[in-house]
Amino acid sequence: MKITEVKVYPVQESGRLKAYATMVFDDCFIIRDLKIIEGDNGLFVSMPSRRRKDGFRDIVHPLNSDTRKMIEDSIIQEFKTSVEQGV
């Protein structure tokens, strides 16, 4: 599985939420509404989730840490690039 596109949409308001992101895999599968959050230990990516009676539940998520790292690294790098370019 290869990441073929990452788009980042920075949020103008301040706070922990820094941006939303969209990611495409193999030019045929898209995930929208990933969130870039400023945590206590730096930036991290939150998967799209839905509110349920017992809290929130991810709609999609990686099944292993290598895939999670690949996704987070790609999105955070694109976010940093967009911030540097002032987009």
**Quick check: 17 and 26 in contact, CB under 8 A?**
no
Tokens of residue 75, six digits: 């999105």
pLDDT of 86 reads: 76
Domain ranges of the chain: 3-84
pLDDT of 21 reads: 97
**Quick check: 75 and 45 in contact, CB under 8 A?**
yes
pLDDT of 87 reads: 63
C-alpha closest to that of 62 among 51, 43, 48: 48
Give every residue of the chain whose pLDDT is below 50, as ranges: none
Burial class (CB in 10 A: 0-12, 13-18, 19+), 40: exposed
**Quick check: 37 and 44 in contact, CB under 8 A?**
yes
pLDDT of 27 reads: 96
CATH number of 3-84: 3.30.1120.40
